[in-house]
Amino acid sequence: MGVVAKRSSMTFYSDPGCHYSHRVRIVLAEKGVTVDIEDVDGKSIPEEVLELNPYASLPTLVDRDLALYETKVMMEYLDERFPHPPLLPVYPVARAMSRQFMHRIERDCCAQVDKIVHSPESKTAEKARKELRESLISIAPIFADLPYFMNEEFTLVDCCLGPILWRLESLGIELPNNRQTKPLHDYMARLFERESFQESLSELERELQA
């Protein structure tokens, strides 16, 4: 991957198919961080991760003596540790709004994706597909006025939503292409063409849209 340049003190244990790992890889690529990315099978967590992470979960980010295992914490840590380009607004109110948008994406989108991935053929997954599709259609118009999620600039909110949008087809979700959803399709095109997004993709993720 493009963000791996040389041996570094930072290691990112990443599930190459997981949207939570993907969001952090986008931040790493956006910041141009020198990091060793270790692709890990989520069903076979290596011993070094088990020693660092009490939840034995992926992703896990290790920076010297610091081990992080919650993705929003990782993303904000990286944004503070590598301040350019900034991925959260400067002003407290705008920062709080961005954090709330991320929380809503977790509740309205990520939760549905997790249900689909966990049991793709179940009735629960079918309901989740319907709810996720409707949620995305409902927010489509907001992208008509601003190029990114409620912002002129690319932020951590986009890092959270982008991996989900990239996976829609593989999740069995097709968005209509009409006047209402055109701003969302245009937003997706902007995201997917972004250099950091392309650099962040694992081989497995590239195959999702091959």
Residue 166 belongs to domain with CATH number: 1.20.1050.10
DSSP string covering 139-202:
HGGGGGTSSBTTBSS--HHHHHHHHHHHTTTTTT-----STTTHHHHHHHHHHHHSHHHHHH--
Q: What pLDDT does residue 8 have?
A: 61
Distance CA 115, CA 13 (A): 23
**Claim to verify: residue 78 and residue 55 sit in the same structural domain:** yes
Q: Helix or strand or coil: residue 13?
A: strand
Of the residues 55, 86, 117, the one at which a domain ends: 86
Distance CA 73, CA 78 (A): 9
**Is residue 127, in this structure, part of any structural domain at all?**
yes
Q: Are residues 60 and 140 in the same domain?
A: no
Q: What is the CATH number of the domain that holds 62?
A: 3.40.30.10
pLDDT-derived band at 44 (thresholds 50, 70, 90) equals confident
Verify that 144 and 188 share a domain, yes or no. Answer: yes
Band of the pLDDT at 7, cuts 50, 70, 90?
very low
Same-domain pairing of 20 and 37: yes
For residues 112 and 161, membership in a common domain is answered with yes
Q: Name the token pair of 99.
A: 């954090």
Residues 27 and 71 grouped into a single domain? yes
Could you tell me if 19 and 54 lie in one domain?
yes
Report residue 97: phi and psi, to 5°: -65, -40
Q: Are residues 107 and 69 in the same domain?
A: no
Residue that is last in its domain, among 49, 69, 86: 86
How many domains is the chain built from?
2
At 78-132, the pLDDT tens digits run: 999 999 999 999 999 999 999 999 999 999 999 999 999 999 999 999 999 999 9
Cα of first residue to Cα of last residue in the chain, in angstroms, is 17
CA distance 21 to 70: 10
Residues 6+ apart with CB under 8 A from 70: none
Give the tens place of pLDDT for each residue, 158-192.
Answer: 999 999 999 999 999 999 999 999 999 999 999 99
pLDDT score at 6: 43
**pTM over the 0.85 mark:** yes
Residue 169 is part of which domain span?
Answer: 92-194
Q: Is residue 55 part of a domain?
A: yes
